[in-house]
Chains A and B, each alone.
Chain A
Amino acid sequence: MADSTWLPMYSLSDVDSFQKGRSILELVRNQDTLELWVVNRHTQAHSLSCVTNQSVAAGDSVLFTLIPKSGDPHYFALQATDESENYLGLHTLIAIKEKASQKLFIWQLEERSLAIDAAILNQQAYDFANYDPTYFLINKRYNPQTLQDSFGRVVGGVGDSLYILVVNWGHADHSLHFHGYHIWDLDGLSKLPAPASKDTLPVRKGESGRLLLVPDKTGEYPVHDHNLVAVSGGGVYPNGMFTTLLIQ
């Protein structure tokens, strides 16, 4: 991590080297077809799920074919079927746009607990009953690295329709607070009748949904977890779940 803490982490990358959070893909509904080859550069086999389940041996590759149609969800999840591998980051998503020009940003939320990391690495038993994470991430980054994230940093103009796809891969709930604007909760993350206009909304573990922001003014405005402890990384504030909206 940026604070030099070493965390075990799997990565799916669009380049042939280890890169964090570089694997988000986008498709246009009723238009694109994706033939996605996943190459396993790791030293052990993995079982992956993306609409279908497939196993990929060390050094081998598998093909997923994705054709987003009407009625499909707003993204395809590509993830390990094994919980510990999933926790260690072996997941990504293929976002589905309604049209090619749609401005879509992706926030994948997750946390990391050093105790769980150690248990997995040492092949010891673990559970999340006493989960006490100390890193809180958006697209595997924390503030201020989140500001350099081309997938997640929301940049737009006044009057734009800016869509944000939020996916909580983690094991904790988060409460995202938007400065400067109310957003539209399009898919009922808040549990209120959709679309609800909110400035703070829960993203419970395992849940996902789209948000729509139509800025009415320029400026740079934070978005952060309002469990303010989660705006820390390794116990240091503000190295946590924090980014900004940049409206020009």
Chain B
Amino acid sequence: MKFTGFILALFLSLSGFAQKNYLLIGRNTGNKTLEDSTKIRTFGFARNLNENPPIPGPTLYAKPGDSVTIDFWNVSQGASHTIHLHGLDVDQQNDGVPHLSFTVLHMEHGYYRFKAVHPGVYLYHCHVLSPIHVQAGMYGMLIIERNDSLEYMENGSLKRADFSFPILFSEVDTNWHKDSVLMQGHDAMIHTAKLPKYEAQYFLANGREQNSWTNSPIHKPKGDYLMRLANVGNYAIELDQLPPGSRIVNSDGRDLPTALSLDSSWSIYPGERYDIVFTAETDQNLRFTYRNLNTWKAMGQLIIPIQLFRIGIESNPINQVQLFPNPGTGSIQIGGLNGAADASYRVYNTAGQLMQEGVCENEIQLRGLKPGLYFIELQIGNQVLRERYSLSQP
């Protein structure tokens, strides 16, 4: 028996498979300020009770073979929620459809479990009154990556990009963010709702509008890019201005046996996901048009610039980094970081005490800190950025 146990333990330690645990907190009390200063109420998935739930929710990561558990804690003032694991082909119990799986009531925990199998991009979102709760902000990306975020399969061969970045498209119709629309059906058994006419006025990618992308573009060197796209909105996203040589290598979490070259436009319909690779030799403006599925009219447009720099000659990457909003309530977006693999941060109070530290991707979430002034130190390689940050009440 001892021998058997040893063999099992050795296998597990060598396999690289992990148990991944995520905590997502469902909130109905979020808010978002749009670029024209319009404020809307939002729902969302937060990582701690102090956090204004971000739009989109946190991106979850796993590797093939990982066992993933999402502890969903519903702190939503009476409303029920679920998590649908979009595209992961989970069993009925974990599918997150209220009347076919289970509903998580106010102050309850629900546990969603799945085994990560196919690398690719997926979504998670609430499936209670789904048109309303998704519009409200209860969605995020889930990425199953190979050894790291840069690897992909093309024509049956494992390849590696120099950079990768995810983009999640969505829209906002402010009429859908009124309490009269958002706050219906708190009874867990009520799953019907009256929907207003949908006509989005704001067009988001990773929760960001055009000015944010213009002011804080993707800033990286020349190289091979892996762009991971997903659409959780109600419009189709037409890509009609992509770099020459762009290819689709994966869709809906399945590698294409043969990459598809994009010679003209391509559309990402609601719920679809794509991995697109390309080589950026010059600056690019990626153009995404939001199209109404009933009329194919262009309802909005986002241009995401890629501005290239030459390492060590033209640019100092840390100078491109911006922390915003500041002042803020503890959810800090980092613009211009663009997935730098070695970025870390430290948060100090005015007495110089280290209050929080960690590695960062595109945002920092302050946890358990009192409102006041802090100093945030962001380090990329051997370069350091220090900024004053004013934490206000959520």
Contacts and interface: CB of A to CB of B under 8 A. Distances in A.
B114 to A, nearest CB: 12
B267 A202 contact: yes
Interface residues of B, number: 47
Contacts of B195: 229, 232, 235-237
B73 to A, nearest CB: 24
Interface string A159-183: 0000000000001111101011110
B251 A182 contact: no
A73 interface: no
B91 A192 contact: no
B87 interface: yes
A175 B252 contact: no
A128 interface: yes
Contacts of A198: 251-252, 254, 272
Interface size class of A (residues with CB under 8 A): 35 or more
Given A173-B269, A175-B236, A236-B194, A221 B92 contact: yes
A222 B269 contact: no
Interface in B194-242: 194-198, 234-236
B295 A129 contact: yes
Contact of B252 (A200, A225, A229, A235): A200
A131 interface: yes
A190 B269 CA distance: 10
A227 B234 contact: yes
Contacts of A217: 91
Contacts of A221: 92, 95, 100
A156 interface: no
Interface string A228-241: 11111001111100
B129 interface: yes
B328 interface: no
A40 interface: no
Contacts of B92: 180, 218-221
18 contacts: A132-B197, A171-B294, A173-B293, A180-B90, A182-B254, A190-B251, A193-B256, A199-B271, A202-B236, A202-B272, A217-B91, A222-B97, A227-B270, A228-B270, A229-B234, A232-B131, A237-B193, A238-B192
Interface of B: 84, 86-87, 89-92, 95, 97, 100, 129-132, 134-135, 191-198, 234-236, 248, 251-254, 256-258, 260, 266-267, 269-273, 293-296
Interface of A: 111, 128-133, 171-175, 177, 179-182, 190-193, 196-202, 217-222, 225-232, 235-239, 244
